[in-house]
């Protein structure tokens, strides 16, 4: 039996998420759904993995294997087409994978792996590369429309400012728990205004949005305006609508790391 067939058979019969076979011998299996432990195990098995065949239920793992161990001979994954697998196998995209590895490693936490989505409907390497480049050039940010704005029925007007300038990719209305509010504003836990800030954020509904675009983090913060409306540009959202330094109508993430952390908090 070919290595790849044996790997597929074991993957199907046992409760595994990844099986690697070389010269008729099983050299690695995992039941773990997360990418990180597998990725770390592969670092230790580097030499052994060369020339092996892999059957995989999670293409995020496949992507990390290809990134780190481009000499894996055959690859079969359960979630994407053979065409996409063939594209993923091409080592010329290793460089792009390096940039994507943090997303792949965080797959479990963030609940998504861009490789999965990007590789599903491509027909060749060039298309995949251009999609990956678009993805890497894009940023995501988390916006909150805070209770003071919702209470004054300004939600629609504020959303339309973002909608005109960016792509809104997700949106939800939520009355935050203390836990969510404290997680979100964790960096301010030692500030004198922390307790007041939490009471304000949980006092009513908040509208959470994920917004995408080039340099969206910086651009959203500019459109939001300075924290204190006294210092905000008059045509910024805070300049127009904020009531005070605390009740300042909107929030926008301040970095890529904050954006990913906050998106996880509000959208799971």
Q: Which of Mg ion, ligand RTP, none sits in contact with 193, Cβ below 5 to 8 A by type?
A: ligand RTP
Taking CB under 6 A as the binding criterion, the range among 84-92, 95-103, 121-129, 243-251 that sits at the site for ligand RTP is 243-251
Other C-beta atoms within 10 Å of 189: how many? 11
Binding residue for ligand RTP (CB under 6 A) from 197, 206, 210, 237?
197
Taking CB under 6 A as the binding criterion, the range among 46-54, 156-164, 242-250, 260-268 that sits at the site for ligand RTP is 242-250
Which H or E run includes 75?
Answer: strand 74-77
Q: Which of Mg ion, ligand RTP, none sits in contact with 227, Cβ below 5 to 8 A by type?
A: ligand RTP
DSSP string, 9-71: HHHHHTT-SEEEEETTEEEEEE----HHHHHHHHHHHHHHHTT-EEEES-HHHHHHHHHH-TT
Q: Which is nearer to ligand RTP, 99 or 175 (CB)?
A: 175
Asked if 245 touches ligand RTP (CB under 6 A), the answer is yes
Asked if 209 touches ligand RTP (CB under 6 A), the answer is no
Binding residue for ligand RTP (CB under 6 A) from 39, 220, 252, 262?
252
Q: Minimum distance between the CB of residue 131 and ligand RTP, rounded to whole angstroms?
A: 31
Q: Minimum distance between the CB of residue 212 and ligand RTP, rounded to whole angstroms?
A: 18
Q: How many residues lie near ligand RTP (CB under 6 A)?
A: 10
DSSP string, 88-138: HH-GGGHHHHHHHHHHHHTHHHHT--HHHHHHHT--SHHHHHHHHHHHHHE
Exposed e or buried b per residue across 97-111, where buried means at least 16 C-beta atoms within 10 angstroms of its C-beta:
beebeebbbbbbebe
Q: Is 69 a catalytic residue?
A: no
Residue 122 vs residues 43, 74, 253: alpha-carbon distances, Å: 29, 20, 32
Q: Applying CB under 5 A, which residues contact Mg ion? A: 254
Q: Applying CB under 6 A, which residues contact ligand RTP? A: 188, 193, 197, 227, 245-246, 248, 251-252, 254
């Amino acid at each position: 039996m070919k290595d790849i067939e044996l790997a597929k058979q074991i993957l199907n019969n046992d409760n595994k998420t990844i099986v690697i076979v070389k010269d008729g011998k099983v050299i690695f299996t995992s039941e773990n759904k997360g990418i990180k432990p597998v990725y770390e195990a592969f670092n230790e098995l580097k030499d052994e993995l060369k020339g092996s065949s892999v059957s995989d239920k999670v293409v995020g793992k496949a992507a990390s294997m290809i990134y780190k161990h481009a000499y894996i001979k055959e690859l079969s994954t359960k979630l994407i087409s053979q065409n996409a697998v063939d594209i993923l196998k091409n080592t010329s995209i290793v460089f792009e994978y390096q940039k994507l590895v943090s997303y792949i490693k965080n797959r479990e936490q963030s609940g998504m792996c861009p490789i999965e989505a990007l590789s599903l409907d491509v027909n060749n390497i060039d298309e995949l590369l251009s999609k990956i480049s678009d993805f890497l050039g894009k940023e995501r940010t988390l916006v909150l429309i805070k209770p003071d704005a919702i209470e004054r029925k300004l939600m629609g007007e504020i959303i339309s400012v973002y909608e005109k300038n960016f792509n809104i990719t997700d949106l939800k209305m939520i009355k935050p728990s203390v836990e969510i509010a404290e997680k979100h504003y964790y960096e301010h836990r030692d500030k004198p205004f922390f307790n007041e800030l939490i009471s304000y954020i949980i006092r009513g509904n908040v509208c959470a949005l994920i917004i995408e675009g080039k340099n969206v983090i910086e651009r959203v913060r500019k459109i939001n305006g300075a924290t204190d409306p006294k210092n905000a540009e008059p045509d910024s959202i805070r300049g127009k609508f904020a009531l005070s330094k605390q009740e300042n109508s909107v929030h926008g993430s301040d970095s890529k790391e904050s954006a990913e952390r906050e998106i996880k908090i509000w959208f799971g």
